[in-house]
Structure 1
Amino acid sequence: MDGYTVLRVIGEGSFGRVLLVQQDSSNWMFAMKEIRLPKSFSDTQNSRKEAVLLAKMKHPNIVAFKESFEAEGHLYIVMEYCDGGDLMQKIKHQQGKLFPEDMILNWFTQMCLGVNHIHKKHVLHRDIKSKNVFLTQNGKVKLGDFGSARLLSNPMAFACTYVGTPYYVPPEIWENMPYNNKSDIWSLGCILYELCTLKHPFQANSWKSLILKICQGFVSPLPSHYSYELQHLIKQMFKRNPSHRPSATTLLSRGALAWLIQKCLTPEIITEYGEQVLEETKKSKHSTLRKKARGRTRQKV
C-alpha cells in the first residue's frame, strides 16, 4: 500500500473490496481493488488473471489499468477511478423517469466499443451487467471488473464454464451449452433493455421461473416512445440461437450507432485507439450492403 492513501471503501463483493485511494506523489485518485488471495496455488493464479487481462486492455471505453502488487496475503489492482458511479446506481436514481433515447444510444455505443475491443483480443467478459459499467463526470462510459473474464485460444473457440449474474446470463448457459462472445452480446442486450425500461428484461419470484423466462426469451416491448430501431436492436440481441445474434462490430455498423461512433471517439482518441474500430465498422457495413445487394439480385432472377 506504499505510495497510496486510502480515502474510503467504494465497493464490496465476494472477492474483497474496492477502495478509493489517492496517490501520494501526484494527489490523483484511483480505484484500488483488494482481493484476498486463496491458499491454493491454482486459485491464486486465477486471482492474478484479472490483473494480467486488464493490463492488456487499452481503450477509452475500458477502465484503465495502472499497476498491481501483492502484500500481506492480498492482491491489489490499481485502476482508473470513474467519478460518475456505475450504471446500476444511475438507473436507480431515475426513480421511474425514463432516459432520453439519444443518451441511451450514446452510452450503448460506448459499451459496444469497449466490448468490441475485448472480443477482438479473444477475451470474454462473462459478467457484463449495469453494475460493471462505469461512468465519468464528462460522459465517458467504461466497462470494468474483469474478475470473471476468460481468454479464448482463438476467435471461434467455445468455452464451457460460466460465471455471471443470473439476470444477465443467456439461455445457452442455463441449457449447459458451450458459449462464446455472443453470450456477452445477450448480457449487453439486458443492459440496453434496462436503460430503456429501468428494470431487468427477465424477472421472476424464483430462480426456476427466472431461468424458464430467460430460456423462452420473451420480453415485454419497450415503452412506445422509443424508436423501432431500438426495439429491433434488442430483438436481435435476444435471439435464442447465439449464432443469430449480432457481433459487437455488427452492432456498431447499424445506422443509429454508426454515426455516433465519430461523436463518441474524439480526434485524439481516434488517433490513439479508434482507427481499428472505425475500419472494422466500415468493413461490416460494406459486408451488410453486399448481402442486401445479393438478396436483391436473387429476387430479380
Structure 2
Amino acid sequence: MFKFKNKLKFGTSTEKQHHSSDSQNDSTGANSSTYEDHNDTTESSIRESNNSRKTVSIDNLTDEVNKLSVDNSNGRPNSSQHSRKSSERSTKQEINSHHQQNNGNTNNILQPPSTDSNITSNSSQYNNSPASSQATSLGQASSVSGIEDVSNSTSNSSSPGLLTVKIYGSQNIQLPIKINNNKQILHALAINSNNENIGQQLLKNLENVAKENDAEYLPGALATKLLPSIITIPNAENLVKSLLYLTIEFDNNVLVIEPQKGTVYQSTWNQVVSFDVTNKSSNSNIESQFLNLNLFIRLPNMLIPDSEKLRNNQLFTNYQQDSANPNRSMSSNSSNTSASPVNIGDLLIGTIKLPLNPKSHTQQVRLMHHEYLNFTNYNVNGNNKDSHSKEMGEIMLTIEFKPLSKKHLSIEDFDLLKVIGKGSFGKVMQVVKKDTKQIYALKTLRKQHIVSRMEVTHTLAERTVLARINNPFIVPLKFSFQSPEKLYLVLSFINGGELFWHLQREGKFSMDRSRFYIAELLTALESLHDLNVIYRDLKPENILLDYQGHIALCDFGLCKLNMSNEDKTNTFCGTPEYLAPELLLNQGYTRSVDWWTLGTLLYEMLTGLPPFYDSDSSTMYKKILQNPLRFPPFLEGTDAQDLLIKLLQKDPSQRLDDAQEIKNHSFFKDIDWNKLLNKSYLPPFKPNVENLLDTSNFDQDFTNEKPQDSVVDDFLTESVQKQFGGWTYNGDNML
C-alpha cells in the first residue's frame, strides 16, 4: 500500500481462471519432538534484507503443484538440508496459468470474478475492566450536565460533518505510579521549565517536600506538583520538549497536542482540533464511535522505580520483555548497573472514552460546553482494588459538530505534503485536508492503467470493502473521488512502518507481543467475514503499525465479496509462504484460508519464519502439502502450540475456522475483547515516530520527490467512465 523501505502495492495482476481439480482429504501432523533446522538457523538472527518477497515466475511449477497431494502421515519431512536466507524470501508470484479461461464469465463491477490466477505480494507498503468511563453517548440522551437534548436526532445516515474539540486546561492530575525521590533530577527539571514563574513555583514545592518528606519514593499525587509540563532542553539550541501530551482519537484518526505551560498537576492547553466525521456504522463497540483522550507523560527513566516497571509495565508505551531471556526480571534493588536501561517509553496517566453520535444532527450543535471530564486508569496494578478505577485528574472541553453540505471532494481540497509511495497505477502522497487540517494518505490511480490491465473489478471491490468496513484495526477509507482521468482514495495516514520491516529488524517477537498483534488481526478478519468478505492475502507486508503501535490492516486488492461461510471460490492468489493446502490443490476453498494465514503469521512472529518455508518455491509447496507441522522447543506444551496446530490443519474441515471459537482459545484467555476493540490496551511496542507528520519510515527516494498531482492526457469513452460511476464516497453516501 505504502512503501516502507521496501515495495509498494497498488493492486493485483490480470485475472485468469482455471479448473478445479478433484478434491482430496487433507490432514496435518503436529510433531514437537523434531523441529526443522530452518528455524534454528534464524532463531536469534536479524533479517539481512529490507526487501519484501520478490516476484518469481512459476510457469513450470503449475503442473507439478497440481500433481501433489496431501500427505496424511506424520512422517519426517523429505529434506531438512536446504539453505535458507530471509533475504531470499519471494513475495509475489504471477501464474501464466495452463488453465483455460471461462469464456462465459461476466464481471459485476462491484464484485470480483470468482476465479483468477495471480499470487500477489506486498508491494509497499489484560485485566477485565469497563470499556468506557462514560455511560451515555453525546448526541443521544445524556445525563452529563451542559449537553443539549438530542431528541430531534435523525437516523445515522445523516450528513457527514466536522467535529471540533476545544481543550482548555487540566487540573488535579496525579500519576498512577510512585516515582523515585531523586532530588537532582527533579531540581534539573524545575530550573529548565519553559516558564520562569512555573520554575520558581516548582523550586518552592521541592523545598517544602525536602523538609517534610525524605522518603525513597514520592506518591503519584505529590509527584505531579514537582514536575513541569514543558521544559527547555539545555545545550540543544533551547529546544522545547513537552513532558505532558494528549492523544485525541476519533474515527480512527489520531491527533497529538501539548500544553502551553504549567505543572503536570495543572496545565494550560488552549488548543483546538477538528475531525472529519465519516463513520459508517453505529456499532458502539467500535473505537471510531468514541472520542478517545489519552494523557501521557514522558518521565526520565531515573525517576521510574524498577518495581513499577515490573508491576505496572502495561502502563508504559514501549515496555517489552527481553525475548532472548523472557524469565529475566527487574527488582527494585537491582544493582546491575552495567546492564543497559530498559526502554520503558511514556507513562499512561489516564483515559477518557466519550461515546459520540454527532451524525444524528442535521444542524450545527454544541455537544458539550466547558465541561470537566475525569481521566480514569483501569490498568493500574496494586493491592487496593479501588486503584483499578482511580480517577487521575480532569480536563475541560468544549465539543461542537457542524454538518457539511458539500457532497464530494476534489484534489483542490487538499494540500500536498510529500510523496510516500509509487506503483504501476499511480502514487501515494501525504496530504493535509484544508478545512480540518487532518493528515491523510491520498492514493491516486490512473483510470487508463486500471482499464488496460483489466483491474476495474478489483479496484472497485477494494473501494467497496473499505467503504463498508468499520474496524479499529483496518486502515479506514475517509473519502474517495474522481476526475475524468484519475481515481482518488483518501485513507488514514499510518506512519509506524510495516510489520514486516519490524519483524525483519528484530528477527522474531515475544509471545505477548505476538498475541497482541494476532488478537487485533483476529477482530479485523472477523469484521471482514461478517460482511461476507474473504481477505486472502494476510502477511506482515500488508500490516502497518500506527503512531501508537496498533495494527492497521491494509491492501484489499485480493479480497472477494459475497463469500458466505460455506461458499467456495477457485481463485489462485495469495503469497507463496502463506498459501493454504486446499488452494494449492485447486479444489476450491472457503473463508477458512484466512485462518490458515493467521496461523502462519503467528508462527512467523514467534519463530522468525513461516512454518513450511523454503527458499525453493517448489519444495516449499510440497512441504505445505505433505510435511508435518513442527515446533521449536520453546513452543512445546504452550497454548500457542495448541492454537497453531488447530489453525494449521491441512484438512480445512478439521481446521479451527470460527472467530468466536478462536477467541475462546486459552491462548487468548487474558484478553478482554471489548477492551481490545476500544484500544484500551497499550501496545507492547511504540514505533519510533517523532509526530504525526513524520515520514521517516517511508523510502527517501519517494519523500524527496516534489509532491504534485501530475497532469495526464488520457481519453476514456463514456462507456468506460460509467464503470467508475460508483466510486465517489464522502463517508456516508456513494454517488
TM-score bracket for this pair, using the shorter chain length: 0.7 to 0.9
- Alpha-carbon distance in structure 1 between the residues aligned to 2:595 and 2:420: 28
Relative to the length of structure 2, the TM-score reads: 0.34
1:121-270 maps to which residues of 2 (within 5 A)? 121-222=531-632, 224=634, 228-247=638-657, 248-260=659-671, 261-266=673-678
Aligned equivalent of 1:119: 529
Are the counterparts in 2 of residues 4 and 22 from structure 1 also a CA contact under 8 Å? yes
Are the counterparts in 1 of residues 635 and 641 from structure 2 also a CA contact under 8 Å? no
- Alpha-carbon distance in structure 1 between the residues aligned to 2:424 and 2:565: 30
1:216–1:114 CA distance, 2 compared to 1 (3 A): same
1:2 CA drift (Å): 2.3
Range moving further from structure 2, 46-55 or 31-40? 31-40
- Alpha-carbon distance in structure 1 between the residues aligned to 2:534 and 2:541: 17
Aligned equivalent of 1:21: 431
1:217 CA drift (Å): 4.7
Q: Amino acid of the residue matched to residue 53 of structure 1?
A: V
Q: Which has the higher contact order (CA 8 A, sep 6+)?
A: 2
Aligned equivalent of 2:227: none
Are the counterparts in 2 of residues 126 and 162 from structure 1 also a CA contact under 8 Å? no
- Alpha-carbon distance in structure 2 between the residues aligned to 1:140 and 1:76: 26
Aligned equivalent of 1:70: 482
1:186 CA drift (Å): 0.9
CA shift digits 1:105-161 (9 cap, x unpaired):
111111001101111111000111111112123232122211110012532111111
Q: Amino acid of the residue matched to residue 546 of structure 2?
A: T
- 1:87 corresponds to which of 494, 499, 504: 499
Aligned equivalent of 2:697: none
1:188–1:268 CA distance, 2 compared to 1 (3 A): closer
Q: Amino acid of the residue matched to residue 46 of structure 1?
A: H
- Alpha-carbon distance in structure 2 between the residues aligned to 1:12 and 1:229: 42
- Alpha-carbon distance in structure 1 between the residues aligned to 2:606 and 2:537: 20
Aligned equivalent of 1:274: none
- 2:464 corresponds to which of 44, 52, 58: 52
1:30 counterpart = 2:434: no
CA shift digits 1:182-222 (9 cap, x unpaired):
10111111111111012232222322112111112534414
Are the counterparts in 1 of residues 461 and 561 from structure 2 also a CA contact under 8 Å? no
1:231 CA drift (Å): 1.1
1:222–1:250 CA distance, 2 compared to 1 (3 A): farther
1:32 CA drift (Å): 2.5
1:176 CA drift (Å): 0.4
Are the counterparts in 2 of residues 222 and 231 from structure 1 also a CA contact under 8 Å? no
Aligned equivalent of 1:61: 473
1:179 CA drift (Å): 1.1
Q: Amino acid of the residue matched to residue 121 of structure 1?
A: L
1:245 CA drift (Å): 1.5
Are the counterparts in 1 of residues 656 and 662 from structure 2 also a CA contact under 8 Å? yes
2:451 match: secondary structure: coil
1:192 match: secondary structure: helix
- Alpha-carbon distance in structure 1 between the residues aligned to 2:679 and 2:622: 46
1:39–1:239 CA distance, 2 compared to 1 (3 A): same
The percent identity for this pair of structures is: 28
1:153–1:168 CA distance, 2 compared to 1 (3 A): closer
1:15 CA drift (Å): 4.9
- Alpha-carbon distance in structure 1 between the residues aligned to 2:424 and 2:600: 23
1:167–1:89 CA distance, 2 compared to 1 (3 A): same
Instruction: State which structure, 1 or 2, has the greater radius of gyration over its C-alpha atoms.
Output: 2
1:136–1:46 CA distance, 2 compared to 1 (3 A): closer
How many residue pairs end up in the alignment? 267
1:5–1:74 CA distance, 2 compared to 1 (3 A): same
1:102 counterpart = 2:504: no
Aligned equivalent of 1:276: none
Aligned equivalent of 1:39: 451
Relative to the length of structure 1, the TM-score reads: 0.80
Q: Amino acid of the residue matched to residue 182 of structure 1?
A: S
Q: Extract structure 1 runs of 4+ deviating beyond 6 A.
A: none
Are the counterparts in 1 of residues 473 and 551 from structure 2 also a CA contact under 8 Å? yes
Q: Amino acid of the residue matched to residue 670 of structure 2?
A: W
- Alpha-carbon distance in structure 1 between the residues aligned to 2:576 and 2:635: 29
1:62 CA drift (Å): 1.5
CA shift digits 1:35-86 (9 cap, x unpaired):
3332369642432221111100011121111011223533222111223222
Q: Amino acid of the residue matched to residue 207 of structure 1?
A: S
Q: Amino acid of the residue matched to residue 490 of structure 2?
A: V
Unaligned runs of 5+ in 1: 270-301
- Alpha-carbon distance in structure 2 between the residues aligned to 1:53 and 1:213: 33
Are the counterparts in 2 of residues 113 and 252 from structure 1 also a CA contact under 8 Å? no
- Alpha-carbon distance in structure 2 between the residues aligned to 1:39 and 1:24: 31
1:255 CA drift (Å): 2.2
- Alpha-carbon distance in structure 2 between the residues aligned to 1:177 and 1:100: 36
Range moving further from structure 2, 148-157 or 260-269? 260-269
